[in-house]
Amino acid sequence: MTFKIAIVGRPNVGKSTLFNRLAGKKLALVDDTPGVTRDRRIHDAKLYDLRFDVIDTAGFEDAAAATLEGRMRAQTELAVSEADLILFMIDAKAGLTPNDRAFADIVRRAGKPVVLVANKAEARGAQGGMLEGWELGLGEPIPISSEHGQGMPDLREAIIEALGEERVFPPDEEDEPASFVPEVLIGEDIADPEAEEVPSYDATKPLRIAVIGRPNAGKSTLINALVGEERLLTGPEAGITRDSISVDWEWRGRKMKLFDTAGMRRKSRVQEKLERLSVADGIRAIRFAEVVIIVLDATIPFEKQDLQLADLIIREGRAAVIAFNKWDLIDNPQELLAELREKTDRLLPQVRGIRAVTVSAETGRGLDRLMEAVTATHEVWNRRISTGRLNRWLEGVLAHHPPPAVAGRRLKIKYLTQVKARPPGFVISCSRPDAMPQSYIRYLTNGLRESFDMPGVPIRIMLRAPE
């Protein structure tokens, strides 16, 4: 069972060029003239180890030709409705146009997983256009060049994250070796290999928190309850400082800074813009935060938008906790909680074990437990594990469940080291990174998560051949 990807975007952004690259054929006609009519095509495609069907929607007439607008929409909607994932393409060189926004609206309404790609990123001046892409509220723009084949590893990564590993690598194909060498991306903060497990955060700095969720989930009520005046009186500095973006307060003597999306939203109560605004706010908030509180209305939990927001948090490498709000309205708490926990782990496998707390923003119940979950998750997100401990653990793992043999040769793992925190990132040095099956990488990720107690944070694993 393979999945379908529709490439969607206004004319001339480079959809056919990418289609050809993925399908490995000169199928779609590439033309410089916008509006050259072509048919929608489906073709089997691959991107490194990913196999899927790609739907090309190239050739829609320019929306300026009013009579053709309906047709354009109908075709895009058809492609979108057939697809499991939408690859929404913009032209980073040209920047956003009203047409991009119109297409983005169609895509947003579909509520399907979306990967936003900013094409022609190799072009001079493409940076500005790429940044504009954030305004679409479709997540982080992935810079690529369809023509030159650049950015393809990031595109692969984004597709996996958007669809989920279970969907991309169905269990029956699990032991196929990955033909892809994950690139080693080491951030600025390379760990001292002997660093011990001390939290790498500065406890004198405020812990940055954002509260996100659908409209009406209870975000404003929760924020007000968290930073309410009575709490503030207990801290050494009375009074709260509130600028347009954040609110400072203290919890159990610890400084906290909260990104106030709800406040921003109140300033612009244009009904039709509500949904879009909450997504755009969500993106800003996620970038600001170290820990994100996802507020779900327990009476209507887990809609698509919640999952998209959660997905974005994971992509951005943030730590997250879930607040199941309005718990005061629930009359079967035991049952519902079990159901919600099961759903959470199934729908968000990337952050298995994520802390979820039942709260009532209105009555204030559960808020201390919520803040305990926030600080605990922050600690995990910042954690550094010593190379010594990691390798003692690895020895045990290799003894009990070594990597499989590929083409008669056993894959060798030499060592494991944590190269970064915030979120935790590890490098595995192994004989043939390109042959290591994804299933084994997943096995190690889950093992690390359990053995070193790292629930609720994204874990990055990179493979590297020894020098």
Contact 291, 209 (CB under 8 A): yes
- Is position 403 annotated in a ligand binding site? no
Site for ligand GDP in 110-139 (CB under 6 A): 119-120, 122-123
Q: Which of 5, 17, 208, 251 binds ligand GDP (CB under 6 A)?
A: 17
C-alpha atoms less than 13 angstroms from C-alpha of 332 in its C-beta half-sphere: 6
Q: Report if residue 21 touches ligand GDP, rule: CB under 6 A.
A: no
- Is position 57 annotated in a ligand binding site? yes
Nearest residue (CB) to ligand GDP, 26 versus 400:
26
Q: Which of 315, 326, 355, 420 binds ligand GDP (CB under 6 A)?
A: 326
Kind and range of the H or E run holding 413:
strand 413-420
Q: Report if residue 262 touches ligand GDP, rule: CB under 6 A.
A: yes
Q: Report if residue 154 touches ligand GDP, rule: CB under 6 A.
A: no
Name the token pair of 299: 């009476």
Q: Report if residue 360 touches ligand GDP, rule: CB under 6 A.
A: yes
From 130-138, 146-154, 245-253, 315-323, give the range in contact with ligand GDP by CB under 6 A: 146-154
Q: Are strands 41-47 and 114-119 parallel, antiparallel or unpaired?
A: unpaired
- Is position 9 annotated in a ligand binding site? yes
From 108-116, 144-152, 333-341, 426-434, give the range in contact with ligand GDP by CB under 6 A: 144-152
Q: Which of helix, strand or coil describes residue 8?
A: strand
Q: Are strands 409-410 and 405-406 parallel, antiparallel or unpaired?
A: antiparallel
Q: What is the DSSP string of 172-199?
A: GGTTSBP---------S-PPPTT--S--
Q: Report if residue 263 touches ligand GDP, rule: CB under 6 A.
A: no
- Is position 325 annotated in a ligand binding site? yes
Site for ligand GDP in 164-193 (CB under 6 A): none
Q: Across the strands, what pairs with 320? A: 292
Taking Cα atoms as reference points, which of 117, 90, 79 lies closest to residue 9? 90
> Taking the complex as a whole, how short is the minimal distance between the CB of residue 433 and ligand GDP, in angstroms?
27
Alpha-carbon separation of residue 454 from 44, 149, 257, 338 (angstroms): 38, 36, 23, 21
Binding residues for ligand GDP, how many (CB under 6 A)?
A: 36
Nearest residue (CB) to ligand GDP, 108 versus 214:
214
Q: Report if residue 329 touches ligand GDP, rule: CB under 6 A.
A: yes
Contact 292, 212 (CB under 8 A): yes
Nearest residue (CB) to ligand GDP, 221 versus 438:
221
- Is position 35 annotated in a ligand binding site? no
Q: Are strands 254-259 and 291-297 parallel, antiparallel or unpaired?
A: unpaired
> Taking the complex as a whole, how short is the minimal distance between the CB of residue 208 and ligand GDP, in angstroms?
19
- Is position 388 annotated in a ligand binding site? no
Site for ligand GDP in 409-428 (CB under 6 A): none
- Is position 121 annotated in a ligand binding site? yes
What CA–CA distance (Å, rounded) separates 466 from 194?
19
Strand ordering across the sheet containing 460-464 = 413-420, 425-430, 460-464
Kind and range of the H or E run holding 287:
helix 274-288
What CA–CA distance (Å, rounded) separates 57 from 15?
8
From 25-33, 131-139, 241-249, 368-376, give the range in contact with ligand GDP by CB under 6 A: 25-33
Output DSSP code: residue 105. H
- Is position 371 annotated in a ligand binding site? no
Taking Cα atoms as reference points, which of 231, 227, 197, 370 lies closest to residue 292? 370
Binding site for GTP: which residues? Answer: 9-16, 56-60, 119-122, 213-220, 260-264, 325-328
Q: Which residues bind ligand GDP (CB under 6 A)?
A: 9, 11-17, 30-32, 58, 119-120, 122-123, 145-148, 213, 215-221, 262, 325-326, 328-329, 360-362
| Binding site per annotation, positions | 9-16, 56-60, 119-122, 213-220, 260-264, 325-328
